[in-house]
Amino acid sequence: MFVDYRTLPQGLRHLLLIPYALSAGGHRSVVLFFVLSGYLIAGSILRSAERGPWNWRDYALRRLVRLWIVLIPGLLLCAAWDGLGMALHRAPLLYAGANGNHLMQNVAAARTWPIFFGNLFFL
């Protein structure tokens, strides 16, 4: 979404310094998140194994419940908001995928039950 900071007009650089500084560490932050996540998950597996017999079924069930606690409400809220946005016709280009960027597709065509359940099961 952002153009390179050096290509901004001189008059805009001081106004946009903070957003550019905050977004500059995005890739490093994602890598750090996955490293910490792997460390914490591995630690919980090792602690469970020390306490007694560890099995994949219990681990997978607990992990799935933790993920679904945030995923299911998120999917339902997004479906409701997209339905409302399409019903009110407030952003027809956005919902038709004609907004001119590669981040959005045709939301109306992608709002199907197979896609919803695919997202629900992380596919």
Domain count, the chain: 2
- Percent helix, strand and coil across the chain, each rounded to 5? 75, 0, 25
What average pLDDT does range 10-36 have in this prediction? 89
Q: pLDDT class for 2, splitting at 50, 70, 90?
A: low
Q: Which domain holds residue 44?
A: 1-54
On whether the CB atoms of residues 41 and 34 are closer than 8 A, the answer is: no
Q: Determine the pLDDT at residue 53.
A: 84
- Regarding whether 82 and 29 lie in a shared domain, the answer is no
Q: Determine the pLDDT at residue 100.
A: 66
- Regarding whether 35 and 65 lie in a shared domain, the answer is no
Report d(CA 37, CA 41) in Å as an integer: 6
On whether the CB atoms of residues 113 and 72 are closer than 8 A, the answer is: no
- Regarding whether 50 and 33 lie in a shared domain, the answer is yes
On whether the CB atoms of residues 110 and 86 are closer than 8 A, the answer is: no
Q: For all residues of the chain together, what is the average pLDDT?
A: 87
What average pLDDT does range 50-57 have in this prediction? 87
- Regarding whether 62 and 45 lie in a shared domain, the answer is no
- Regarding whether 37 and 86 lie in a shared domain, the answer is no
- Regarding whether 78 and 44 lie in a shared domain, the answer is no
What average pLDDT does range 9-36 have in this prediction? 89
Report d(CA 63, CA 56) in Å as an integer: 10
What average pLDDT does range 108-114 have in this prediction? 89
- Regarding whether 73 and 49 lie in a shared domain, the answer is no
